[in-house]
Amino acid sequence: MNTHGLPDPLRRAIAGDLRPVEPLPLLWKRALGVAIVAVAVSAAVLASRALRPDLVVLSPWVGWGAAILEGLAGLLVIGLALRESVPGQALSRRTIGLAIGIGIAMNLIIVVATRIDVAPGVALWGPLTRGMMCSRHEVMFAFPAFLVTVYLVVRAFPLRPQVVGLLGGLGAGLAGDGINHLLCPVSSLYHVLVWHTGAMVVLMLFGWCGGELWMLIRDRKEEE
Amino acid sequence: MTELDADQQRLVELMIGYQNGNMADFNDLYSTLQAPLTRYLWTFVRNASAVEDLLQTTFLQLHRARRTYIPPRPVKPWMYAIARHVALMHLRSHRRRREVTADETLPDIPIPPAAEKLGDRKMVRRLLLELPRPAQEVLVLHHMLGLSFVEIGHVMGISSGAAKVRAHRALKTIRARIGEPGA
């Protein structure tokens, strides 16, 4: 023991790795990084793919407005995930529940709102093929934002990585669905619930399981 | 500036110095935080040597996570959240290995002033230790370690309202048990 009561092994461990560190950027700066990637992906996707043919029938508020709103909600949820990844900034169960509830409800409300306005008779190639393509697109559009979120989370110190993963998956899923909303012409409730909302739920579960796995590995390492 | 503000400000300055690689600031942080962290860890583990180990592990984790402290935010919620994580991890791993940590004679751990004035010190300590762990945690964090209910919410992942309700119910339970015959 030294004069401060600091045990020698601890003092040696700390002194051996005392390089100066830069504190994490503020939450809004970290979230901005994700937003830039999400906007870049959206712009690239929308520039390279045909928009849904019935988009002209929808009012701009319902068509573009809903997509932007969903994208913003996704970024907000990612912001919550980034906040949760810093010790001492834990979200309450109520906030987590609200984020999940509002995220999924927003997805459904947008479906219902656009369904009312959509002109019927959009040609389908077969519900399964179309559905799988939509899910694939949704995950593809969501993945860059998800990866940036994971990178930022890994650089922090999440104490509940499964919660962070769940929110990260939901946020990225919402952002991906916002883009998909402008491309997918099928707005039947069945199609959206199974293939769009389903893809979002899969991303959430993927995030949750990834977090659980991370926690298990970390626990094992600590035990060793 | 109140004493509490000055105390918090000092912790923030020490943390900034520590992040800049100053060992003397870490030493000061250790001597300032050792006692409150030990008290907090007692709410999870009732074994002196386990608490000592957990304290060292907590400081190692604080060291690993030091870049996640963002000045000038209060240091305490950040620090107690990491200590809580270390303690819960310890409990989880012991559950997994089905190990039971034997209780030792409890040291003379301090009790919250709000509970102390309810009755005989020894009895209050026993009743406090009989409370469910989350209730003990809230009482200790608020009444002894000076965290606000909002900060407790950020440490424990609950709303500030829920923290307030837990503290109120915990004190009410102690009061009721003191009133009980044979308490």
Reported ipTM: the value is 0.84
Say whether pLDDT at B18 is over 80: yes
CB within 8 Å: B68 and A219: no
Q: Where in chain B is the domain with CATH 1.10.1740.10?
A: 1-108
Lowest mean pLDDT among A91-95, B71-75, B117-121: B117-121
- Residue A3: its pLDDT value, please? 44
Which of residues B164 and B100 earns the better pLDDT score? B164
- Residue A2: its pLDDT value, please? 44
Note the CATH architecture for domain B110-183. Orthogonal Bundle (1.10)
Segment B113-123 mean pLDDT? 69
CB within 8 Å: A90 and B80: no
- Residue B97: its pLDDT value, please? 58
Cα–Cα distances (Å) from B151 to A171, B74, B164, B165, in that order, read 26, 9, 11, 15
Q: Where in chain B is the domain with CATH 1.10.10.10?
A: 110-183
DSSP code of residue B49: H
Say whether pLDDT at B153 is over 80: yes
Say whether pLDDT at B102 is over 80: no
Segment A143-149 mean pLDDT? 93
Segment A180-184 mean pLDDT? 87
Say whether pLDDT at A117 is over 90: no
Lowest mean pLDDT among A18-32, A37-51, A127-141, B167-181: B167-181
The DSSP code sequence of chain A is: --TT---HHHHHHHHTT----PPPPPHHHHHHHHHHHHHHHHHHHHHHSPPPGGGGTS-HIIIIIHHHHHHHHHHHHHHHHHHHTSTT-PPPHHHHHHHHHHHHHHHHHHHHHHHHHSPS----S-HHHHHHHHHHHHHHHHHHHHHHHHHHHHHS--SSHHHHHHHHHHHHHHHHHHHHHTT-----HHHIIIIIIHHHHHHHHHHHHHHHHHHHHHHHHHH-
Segment A168-181 mean pLDDT? 93
Place A213 in a pLDDT band, splitting at 50, 70 and 90: very high
- Residue B120: its pLDDT value, please? 72
- Residue A121: its pLDDT value, please? 52
User: Which of A7, A21, A219 lies at the smallest CB-CB distance from B56?
Assistant: A7
- Residue A1: its pLDDT value, please? 42
Say whether pLDDT at A150 is over 90: yes
B26 to chain A: which residues are within 8 Å by CB?
Answer: 14, 18
Say whether pLDDT at B180 is over 70: no
- Residue A54: its pLDDT value, please? 77
Which of residues B100 and B32 earns the better pLDDT score? B32
The whole-angstrom distance between B116's CA and the closest CA on chain A is 28
pLDDT digits (tens, 9 = 90+) for A183-192: 888 877 788 8
Contact assessment for residue A77 and residue A99, using Cβ atoms and an 8 Å cutoff: yes
- Residue B150: its pLDDT value, please? 95
CB within 8 Å: A24 and B70: yes
Say whether pLDDT at B163 is over 90: yes
d(CA B152, CA B157): 8
- Residue B114: its pLDDT value, please? 66
Task: Out of 3.40.50.180, 3.30.360.10, 1.10.1740.10, 1.10.1060.10, select the CATH number for domain B1-108.
Answer: 1.10.1740.10
Average pLDDT of every residue of chain B: 85
Segment A175-189 mean pLDDT? 85
Which of residues B82 and A55 earns the better pLDDT score? B82
Substitution target in A157, A164, A220, A221 with the highest count of B β-carbons within 10 Å is A157
